[in-house]
């Protein structure tokens, strides 16, 4: 099991105390978080630093963005070995209409998406909406 430091370094991210804290925060949450969730958790920190940290994580493939249709961008940790590639790594997301949480369904990959010639797919967002397992009581 790699330490967080090693994991960040393997992605060419310079390890800072702030980056470690935010990474740990994301690990502890098992749902996708918004930038304001992070800001609320790190009230004393500079918002720009928090924003830059999450952007760095996104660029380096530590987290991926989720657009769950609520109008607020959410972020979740990538799986080990994820390169955020459309063909291999993108998975379904589930948005619960009851508790409003969004989770990664990493075992459910997005089926191959074919676009017409001349179109270039850069990102695919597939969000299933409904009631999550916690809310459905199963
Ligand atoms: Zn990823
Ligand atoms: Zn729910
Ligand atoms: Zn995800």
Domain count, the chain: 1
Q: What is the CATH number of the domain that holds 41?
A: 1.10.10.10
Q: Where are the alpha helices (DSSP H) in the chain?
A: 4-10, 17-28, 35-41, 47-59, 133-136
Residue 124 CA to ligand 3 center (angstroms) comes to 11
Residue 84 CA to ligand 1 center (angstroms) comes to 4
Per-residue model confidence (pLDDT) at position 1? 59
Per-residue model confidence (pLDDT) at position 123? 83
Known binding residues for Zn(2+) are: 96, 99, 132, 135
Distance between CA atoms of residues 15 and 111, nearest Å = 35
Residue 41 CA to ligand 2 center (angstroms) comes to 21
- Count of CB atoms within 10 A of residue 3's CB? 10
Per-residue model confidence (pLDDT) at position 134? 95
Residue 33 CA to ligand 2 center (angstroms) comes to 14
Per-residue model confidence (pLDDT) at position 115? 94
Tens-place pLDDT, residues 64-99: 999 999 999 999 999 888 888 887 888 999 999 999
Domain encompassing residue 15: 4-136
Mark the ranges of the chain whose per-residue pLDDT is less than 70. 1
Per-residue model confidence (pLDDT) at position 59? 94
Nearest to 79 by CA among 64, 94, 92: 64
Instruction: Please indicate, yes or no, whether the overall pTM of this predicted structure exceeds 0.85.
Output: yes
């Amino acid at each position: 099991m790699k330490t967080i430091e090693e994991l960040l370094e393997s992605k060419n991210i310079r390890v800072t105390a702030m980056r470690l804290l935010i990474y740990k925060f994301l690990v502890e949450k098992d749902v996708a978080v918004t930038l304001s969730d992070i800001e609320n958790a790190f009230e004393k920190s500079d918002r720009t630093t928090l924003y830059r940290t999450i952007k760095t994580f996104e660029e380096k493939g530590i987290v991926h963005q989720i657009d769950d249709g609520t109008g607020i961008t959410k972020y979740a940790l990538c799986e080990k070995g994820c390169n955020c590639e459309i063909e291999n790594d993108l998975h379904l997301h589930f948005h619960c209409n009851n508790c409003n949480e969004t989770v990664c369904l990493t075992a459910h990959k997005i089926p191959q998406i074919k676009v017409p010639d001349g179109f270039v797919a850069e990102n695919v967002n597939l969000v299933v909406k409904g009631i999550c397992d916690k809310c459905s009581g199963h």
